[in-house]
Amino acid sequence: MAEDALSEEQQQSRRAAVAEIMPATPYLAGLGVLIERYEPDSVTLRLPFRADLTNDGTYYHGGVIAAVIDTAGAAAAWSNHDFNKGARASTVSMSIQYVGAAKASDLICHARAVRRGKELTFTEITATDAEGGVVAHGIQTYRIV
């Protein structure tokens, strides 16, 4: 191990800090995104229903759903990241298929990291309403350097 490499305890501490810092960032705090579960390679986020984030007071705007899907994928990427490889990140690509609607319901996003490469982490995300009805599926490529 290199002299300046982080210990496993330091790695765990940094991973845990992500779960605290991420929902406090201005955009996510404004949306009201909550991290409900944050485990290695698997996270669940919740967006409590707010009429001001909808098209018509009932159904979430697609951009809101995309933002939460993107955030869930990023959280899954960070949840088991090796911080010795870096800490600068961005979404490289994301594809979303909208298959339903969250009618006046909290939006729940379940994300998992399915593969980790040298710089890229590939995640899969499913967004549901509060009762488990599928709203959208996402596939994301996230880069951390």
Averaged pLDDT of the chain: 96
Which residue type, as a one-letter code, is found at position 134?
V
The count of domains in the chain is 1
**What would the pLDDT profile of 83-117 be if each residue is shown by its tens digit?**
999 999 999 999 999 999 999 999 999 999 999 99
Q: What is the pLDDT of residues 113-134, one digit of tens each?
A: 999 999 999 999 999 999 999 9
Residue 23 has what pLDDT? 96
* Banded model confidence at residue 3, pLDDT cuts 50, 70, 90: low
- Looking up residue 84, the CATH number of its domain turns out to be 3.10.129.10
Write out the residue range of the structural domain in which residue 22 sits. Answer: 8-144
- Using CB atoms within 10 A of its CB, is residue 94 exposed (0-12), middle (13-18) or buried (19+)? middle
Q: Is residue 126 part of a domain?
A: yes
In a domain, 2, yes or no: no
Q: How far apart are CA 77 and CA 56, in angstroms?
A: 33
Residue 144 predicted with pLDDT over 80? yes
Query: For residue 2, what pLDDT band results from cuts at 50, 70 and 90?
Result: low
Backbone phi, then psi, for 80, in 5-degree steps?
-140, 30
Residue 3 lies in a domain: no
In a domain, 32, yes or no: yes
Asked whether the beta carbons of 108 and 101 are under 8 A apart, the reply is no
For residue range 34-69, list pLDDT tens digits in order. Answer: 999 999 999 999 999 999 999 999 999 999 999 999
Span 23-34, pLDDT tens digits? 999 999 999 999
Confidence class for position 143, pLDDT limits 50, 70, 90: very high
Residue 117 lies in a domain: yes
Q: Are 98 and 62 in contact (CB under 8 A)?
A: yes
Please report which helix (H) or strand (E) contains residue 143, including its range. Answer: strand 134-144
The residue whose two tokens read 């979404």 is 91
